[in-house]
């Protein structure tokens, strides 16, 4: 997106610079709660609890929270599309009456009219401005140019890539000349590379002269890296009910470098705040934390970039799990047994004819389960490893189950499932959560491994038809309960 001023002709604000209205936040939620009546007309469910939040002029604010925490509801409250059950929504210090014209929203799902061309879709954003036809064409032209859509004027949405469609969404929001450009998970339906470039363009848009006519950008997301990349202030919301837990200023200078140390430190800080919210209170289990202290662990870290390096201030660690099948781990143990207890990791790589990176992943998986140890470049069997190898299948499963329950990810997932109705959670919400918790991982791969290991341990399982993850025990006891029918 070019950064010339799209909205140069924007009318000046009516309020005097020092008046209370000028000093007031652009939008404010003051002690807002929101409840919905339960599905079967039952007692109301509280979605948001005592939310106080303001959007200030000159900031890019990110609201970060897991799926279902109430982020979109906050956006709808700000937009005047729904009303609070308690508390007040203010615009420039005055109670918001009806729809908030100061705000435009870009949605994840693009929300374009399929039967309208790009140009006509953007025109929808002009409806409130009552321009004549020539002015409309100028505004549309400028917006399309700014957002990198010149030449696509007459295309239909279905002819465009996801990234291009989302650009139409941005153009439509911008021509409305909002004070606040709101984005509701605007990049999460895009492929990784497209998302990355569009994010950078949003930052460029803001950094261009006059912020492209905007007073603030408000980003709703469940992606930590995205929030740290874009926002000047990050608000973290917890779930069930949604409550504001942390407000973290993000002073990193632009343009921000995702690979820089200060960036990683900021991601760590936000990550630690979120981890503290979602983790149970017990102290971290040592086998997990120990892995990165060893020779092989360190190599893995270098090989895998920032993965697994995030720790909370208390040392509580959520570590990713390598995508390695259980049989492969057993195979590794058998090779170490053949090698009589210890083998150099480079020799091991040659021996099993796997690339070094892959070898490291297998070794790391076994080490996380305490089956092996990795002093320096050597891989050696632990007592537990010998036990596991010699044990009959049921004992292996029991061991495996105990071992994975020392890993934070499994602890968390099991705790979540134990609380969930019928011990089941929709896989998509698990994926969202994994994405939040381990921003450098591929959630789908991670879930695949969690399920594979969980199945072997007879701890958790996956129901393809219902697309849900469930607790092994829960489903069994449920079956028993239903038998008497």
Q: Rounded to the nearest whole angstrom, what is the least distance from the CB of residue 189 to Mg ion in the complex?
A: 12
Alpha-carbon distance 234 to 272, whole Å?
Answer: 13
Virtual torsion, Cα 474, 475, 478, 479, nearest 10 deg: -150
Smallest distance from the beta carbon of 70 to ligand ADP, in angstroms?
A: 4
Query: Which listed option, Mg ion, ligand ADP, none, makes contact with residue 208 (CB within 5 to 8 Å by class)?
Result: none
Cα separation values, 354 from 337, 348, 350, 361, 362, Å: 18, 9, 7, 11, 10
Q: Is 72 in the site for Mg ion (CB under 5 A)?
A: yes
Rounded to a whole number of angstroms, the minimum distance from the CB of residue 66 to Mg ion is 10
Query: Footprint of ligand ADP on residues 46-65 (CB under 6 A)?
Result: 47, 65
The residue among 146 and 234 lying less far from ligand ADP, judged by its C-beta, is: 234
Neighbour order of strands in the sheet with 243-249: 103-107, 180-184, 216-221, 60-64, 233-238, 243-249
From the number of C-beta atoms within 10 Å of its C-beta (0-12, 13-18, 19+), residue 139 rates as buried
Residue 85 near ligand ADP by CB under 6 A: no
Looking at beta carbons only, is 67 or 223 nearer to ligand ADP?
67
By the rule CB under 6 A, 67 interacts with ligand ADP? yes
From the list 64-72, 160-168, 245-253, 265-273, the region that binds Mg ion by CB under 5 A is: 64-72
The whole-angstrom separation of Cα 477 and Cα 181 is 50
**How many CA atoms lie less than 13 Å away from 105 in the CB half-sphere?**
21
Which listed option, Mg ion, ligand ADP, none, makes contact with residue 423 (CB within 5 to 8 Å by class)? none
Alpha carbons 357 and 4: distance in angstroms, whole number: 46
Residue 437: CB minimum distance to ligand ADP, A: 16
Of 219 and 345, CB closest to ligand ADP: 219
Query: Closest approach of Cβ 217 to ligand ADP, in Å?
Result: 18
Q: Alpha helix (H) ranges present in 190-245?
A: 192-207, 224-230
CA neighbor of 125 nearest in space, from 108, 143, 147, 109: 143
Is residue 163 close enough to count as binding ligand ADP by CB under 6 A? no
Q: Token digits for 365?
A: 């998986």
Could you tell me which of 219, 227, 212 has the C-alpha nearest to residue 106?
Answer: 219
Q: Strand 468-471: give its sheet, edge to edge.
A: 424-426, 468-471, 460-463
Q: Which is nearer to ligand ADP, 166 or 238 (CB)?
A: 238
CB of 65 or CB of 148, closer to ligand ADP:
65
Considering the complex, state which of residue 89 and residue 264 has its C-beta at the smaller distance from ligand ADP: 89
- Asked whether 31 and 87 are in contact (CB, 8 A), the reply is yes
Task: State whether the Cα torsion 397-403-409-410 is positive or negative.
Answer: positive
What character string, x for contact with Mg ion (CB under 5 A) and - otherwise, covers 145-174? Answer: ------------------------------
Residue carrying the six token digits 């036809």 = 133
Answer yes or no whether residue 299 interacts with ligand ADP by CB under 6 A.
Answer: no
Q: Check binding of 475 to Mg ion (CB under 5 A).
A: no
What is the smallest separation between the CB atom of 455 and ligand ADP, expressed in angstroms? Answer: 28
Residue 36 touches ligand ADP, criterion: CB under 6 A: yes
Among 5, 13, 72, 475, binds ligand ADP (CB under 6 A): 72
CA distance 338 to 332: 10
Q: Which of residues 171-190 bind ligand ADP (CB under 6 A)?
A: none
Q: Where are the beta strands (DSSP E) in 117-232?
A: 180-184, 216-221
- Separation CA 447–CA 279 (nearest Å): 18
Distance, CA of 1 to CA of 203 (rounded, Å): 10
By CB under 6 A, is residue 241 in contact with ligand ADP? Answer: no
Burial class, 15, CB count within 10 angstroms (exposed 0-12 / middle 13-18 / buried 19+) = middle
Shortest separation between residue 209's beta carbon and Mg ion, angstroms:
32
36 binds, among Mg ion, ligand ADP, none (CB under 5 to 8 A by kind): ligand ADP
Q: Considering beta carbons, is residue 273 or 291 the nearer one to ligand ADP? A: 273
Report in angstroms how near the CB of residue 448 gets to Mg ion at its nearest.
25
* 73 scored as a contact of ligand ADP (CB under 6 A): yes
Task: Examine residue 71 and tell whether it contacts ligand ADP (CB under 6 A).
Answer: yes
Q: Which does 47 bind (CB under 5 to 8 A by kind): Mg ion, ligand ADP, none?
A: ligand ADP
Query: Which of residues 72 and 194 has its CB atom nearest to Mg ion in the complex?
Result: 72
The site for Mg ion (CB under 5 A) is made up of 72
């Amino acid at each position: 997106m070019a950064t010339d001023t799209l909205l140069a002709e924007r009318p000046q604000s009516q309020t005097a610079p020092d008046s209370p209205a000028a000093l007031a936040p652009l939008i404010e939620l003051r002690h807002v709660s929101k409840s919905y009546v339960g599905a079967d007309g039952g007692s109301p469910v509280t979605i948001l609890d005592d939310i106080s939040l303001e959007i200030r002029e000159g900031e890019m604010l990110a609201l970060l929270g897991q799926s279902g925490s109430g982020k979109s509801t906050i956006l709808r409250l700000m937009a005047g599309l729904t009303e609070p059950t308690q508390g007040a929504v203010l615009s420039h210090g005055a109670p918001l009456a009806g729809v908030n014209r100061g705000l435009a929203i870009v949605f994840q799902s693009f929300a374009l009219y399929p039967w309208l061309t790009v140009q006509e879709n953007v025109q929808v954003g002009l409806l409130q401005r009552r321009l004549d036809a020539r002015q409309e064409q100028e505004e549309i032209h400028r917006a399309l140019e700014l957002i990198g859509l010149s030449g696509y004027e007459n295309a239909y949405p279905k002819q465009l890539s996801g990234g291009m469609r989302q650009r139409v969404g941005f153009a439509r929001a911008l021509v409305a000349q909002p004070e606040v450009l709101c984005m509701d998970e605007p990049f999460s339906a895009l492929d990784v590379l497209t998302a990355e470039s569009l994010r950078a363009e949003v930052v460029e848009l803001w950094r261009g002269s006059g912020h492209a006519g905007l007073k603030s950008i408000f980003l709703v997301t469940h992606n930590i890296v995205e929030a740290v990349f874009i926002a000047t202030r990050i608000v973290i919301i917890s779930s069930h009910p949604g409550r504001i837990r942390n407000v973290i200023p993000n002073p990193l200078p632009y343009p921000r470098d995702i690979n820089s140390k200060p960036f990683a430190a900021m991601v760590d800080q936000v990550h630690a705040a979120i981890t503290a919210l979602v983790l149970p209170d017990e102290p971290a289990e040592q086998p997990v934390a120990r892995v990165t202290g060893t020779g092989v662990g360190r190599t893995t870290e270098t090989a895998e970039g920032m993965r697994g390096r995030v720790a909370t201030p208390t040392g509580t660690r959520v570590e990713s799990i390598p995508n390695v099948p259980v049989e492969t781990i057993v195979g590794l143990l058998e090779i170490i047994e053949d090698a009589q207890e210890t083998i150099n990791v480079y020799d091991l790589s040659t021996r099993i004819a796997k690339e070094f990176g892959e070898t490291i992943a297998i070794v790391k998986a076994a080490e996380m389960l305490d089956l092996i140890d990795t002093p320096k470049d050597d891989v050696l069997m632990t007592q537990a490893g010998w036990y596991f190898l010699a044990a009959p299948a049921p004992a292996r499963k029991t061991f495996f189950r105990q071992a994975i329950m020392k890993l934070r990810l499994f602890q968390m997932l099991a705790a979540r499932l134990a609380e969930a109705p019928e011990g089941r959670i929709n896989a998509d919400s698990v994926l969202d959560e994994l994405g939040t918790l381990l921003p450098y991982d591929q959630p789908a791969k991670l879930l695949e491994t969690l399920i594979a290991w969980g199945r072997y341990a007879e701890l958790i399982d996956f129901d393809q038809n219902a697309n849900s993850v469930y607790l092994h025990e829960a489903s069994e006891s449920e079956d028993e309960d239903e038998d008497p029918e």
